[in-house]
């Protein structure tokens, strides 16, 4: 996954700014076309080196798809309903994360190449149906409506990195924890980890609606604080099902943080151009999570969860300090 994740996150640092003068639907369709070509490479190549190159290129292409789809949503949806739309978008992402292992597992029983064949079919469907035509972000009046507010953006970058490393990237550590503490087998570990995805699938849209009704800043703060508490509870939970509940709450909170970050950035000056830059830190966090927290877990299992909880609490305080002066 490193061959996908790190080029994906690195290109996201500048992808939405790089294509700000190009109509978003063209960017998305081109990126999907590139992804389709290299998906066929993954299916048919007999060489490991070319397989790795395929993953790398798909990661680069995905760096344009993920943020630009949300730019399209911004162009299509009334501002007062954008949170709800991003919530639905997050729900579909959660569905993909949940169904992906199931589809790949079933496909691998026949032939592992079928996994990529399913992806190819989905991309062909998107290319045939296409995405809505919207103007390039650089043509929007708000794109030059004021100076970039860098201090809040730095807080959002930090928040994205913390939830990426300290929640989204900790699924492996949750599985290790319930195996060590409760001797759960593969199925039990999988169910505990999956509880987070199920919670996000069920409730992401409600978080988006709450952001529209009560304000993205309020939902950001509540989500980050909830994630802090949930992470702190994980190593203290006396049963596996309580760990699953705490983990579900943590993932849902992380989804709330990420969703409101996206919403706040999109609503800020030049937000469409800066969205991918902010989002990149979430994926860098996920990529670095094992390097950061596995050594901590080996020293003391509790602190592998308490440290990200403290970091998320720090994000809450930083957000409060910056939002009070906005």
What does the DSSP assignment read for 289-314?
HHHHHHHHHHH-TTHHHHHHHHHHHH
The answer to whether the beta carbons of residues 259 and 208 sit under 8 Å apart is: yes
Q: What are phi and psi of 69, to 5 degrees?
A: -60, -35
Distance between alpha carbon 141 and the CA centroid of its chain, in Å? Answer: 28
What is the C-alpha separation between 115 and 128, in angstroms, rounded?
A: 21
The per-residue DSSP string of 200-217 comes to HHHHHHHHHHHHHHH-HH
Determine the pLDDT at residue 189.
87
Domain segments of the chain: what residues? 2-139, 145-323
Instruction: Look at residue 147 and give its three-state secondary structure.
Output: coil
Determine the pLDDT at residue 191.
87
Determine the pLDDT at residue 147.
80
Give the Cβ contact number of residue 79 at 10 Å.
Answer: 12
CATH class of 145-323: mainly alpha
Gyration radius (Cα) of the chain, Å: 20
Determine the pLDDT at residue 144.
47
Per-residue pLDDT of the chain (326 residues; tens, 9 = 90+): 678 889 999 999 999 999 999 999 999 999 999 999 999 999 999 999 999 999 999 999 999 999 999 999 999 999 999 999 999 988 888 777 766 666 766 776 778 788 889 899 999 999 999 999 998 887 665 444 568 888 999 999 999 999 999 999 999 999 999 999 999 888 888 889 889 888 988 999 999 999 999 999 999 999 999 999 999 999 999 999 999 999 999 999 999 999 999 999 999 888 888 999 999 999 999 999 999 999 999 999 999 999 999 999 999 999 998 876 55
Give the Cβ contact number of residue 320 at 10 Å.
Answer: 13
The answer to whether the beta carbons of residues 13 and 287 sit under 8 Å apart is: no
What is the C-alpha separation between 23 and 69, in angstroms, rounded?
A: 11
Residues with Cβ within 8 Å of residue 312, at least 6 apart in sequence: 159, 162, 163, 166, 167, 224, 227, 228, 231, 257
């Amino acid at each position: 996954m490193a061959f996908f994740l790190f080029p994906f996150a690195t290109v996201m640092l500048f992808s939405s700014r790089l294509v700000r003068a190009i109509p978003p639907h063209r960017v998305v369709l081109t990126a999907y076309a590139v992804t389709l070509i290299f998906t066929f490479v993954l299916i048919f190549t007999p060489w490991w080196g070319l397989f790795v190159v395929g993953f790398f290129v798909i990661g680069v292409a995905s760096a344009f798809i993920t943020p630009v789809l949300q730019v399209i949503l911004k162009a299509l949806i009334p501002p007062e309903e954008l949170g709800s739309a991003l919530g639905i978008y997050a729900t579909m992402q959660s569905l993909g994360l949940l169904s992906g292992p199931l589809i790949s597992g079933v496909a691998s029983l026949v032939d592992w190449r079928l996994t990529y064949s399913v992806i190819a079919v989905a991309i062909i469907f998107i290319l045939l149906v296409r995405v809505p035509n919207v103007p390039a972000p650089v043509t929007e009046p708000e794109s030059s409506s004021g100076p970039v507010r860098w201090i809040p953006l730095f807080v959002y970058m930090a928040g994205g990195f913390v939830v990426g490393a300290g929640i989204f990237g900790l699924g492996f550590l949750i599985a290790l924890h319930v195996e060590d503490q409760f001797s759960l087998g593969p199925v039990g570990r999988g169910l505990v980890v999956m509880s987070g995805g199920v919670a996000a699938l069920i409730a992401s849209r409600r978080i988006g609606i709450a952001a529209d009704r009560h304000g993205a800043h309020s939902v950001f703060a509540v989500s980050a604080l909830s994630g802090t508490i949930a992470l702190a509870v994980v190593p203290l939970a006396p049963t596996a099902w309580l760990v699953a509940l705490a983990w579900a709450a943590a993932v849902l909170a992380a989804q709330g943080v990420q969703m409101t970050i996206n919403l706040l950035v999109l609503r800020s000056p030049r937000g469409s151009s800066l969205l991918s830059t902010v989002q990149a830190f979430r994926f860098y966090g996920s990529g670095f999570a094992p390097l950061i927290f596995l050594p901590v877990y080996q020293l003391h299992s509790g602190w592998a969860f308490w440290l990200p909880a403290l970091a998320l609490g720090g994000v809450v305080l930083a957000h409060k300090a910056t939002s009070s002066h906005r």
